[in-house]
């Protein structure tokens, strides 16, 4: 026999039209809040996004993209907020997206080689505008060995 505290929450899957609509409204409100929180970063990189689209490199605007992530470490003490951008297709597209940003003058601030979904933090020079992307493990390893071309 298990005991439940009075404050425990028990999930109830929506089963009526009203509950399904209410769940969708909550999901929509959460997504709009994420986009509003990231709006300054998204607006700051609009020219880069337009250039990627012109090159045929498409990024996702789904729930798994276009939101802020924190790249701070517990020892640094400083906040490193970055805009999370996911590519719309996996495979070579992650590497292509990172390469396209690098070609536009962005610099590698950090790269974490971690299997298929390795993460890269890029920064626009002389700004605090950062983006978090995914790429192949091989590409992340290559990028982690490159020194940043600009001092922070």
Which pTM does this prediction carry? 0.82
Convert the pLDDT of each residue in 88-127 to its tens digit.
765 567 899 999 999 999 999 999 988 778 999 999 999 9
Every domain of the chain and the residues it spans = 39-144
Range 44-74 burial, b when 16+ CB lie within 10 A, else e: ebeebbeebeeeebebeeeeebbbbbebeee
Largest pairwise CA distance in the chain? 62
Convert the pLDDT of each residue in 33-54 to its tens digit.
999 999 999 999 999 999 999 9
Task: Give 151 or 21, the one with higher predicted confidence.
Answer: 21
């Amino acid at each position: 026999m298990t005991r439940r505290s009075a404050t425990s929450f028990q999930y109830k899957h929506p089963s009526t039209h009203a509950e399904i609509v209410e769940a969708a409204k909550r999901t929509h409100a959460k997504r709009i809040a994420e986009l509003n929180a990231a709006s300054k970063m998204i607006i700051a990189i609009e020219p880069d996004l337009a250039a990627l689209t012109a090159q045929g490199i498409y990024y996702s605007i789904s729930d798994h993209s276009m939101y802020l992530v924190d790249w701070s470490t517990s020892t640094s003490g400083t906040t490193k907020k970055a805009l999370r951008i996911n590519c719309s297709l996996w495979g070579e597209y992650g590497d292509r997206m990172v390469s396209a940003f690098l070609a536009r003058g962005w610099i590698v601030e950090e790269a974490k080689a971690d299997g298929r979904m390795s993460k890269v933090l890029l920064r626009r020079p002389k700004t605090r505008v950062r983006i978090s992307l995914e790429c192949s493990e091989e590409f992340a390893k290559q990028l982690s060995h490159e020194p940043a071309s600009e001092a922070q």
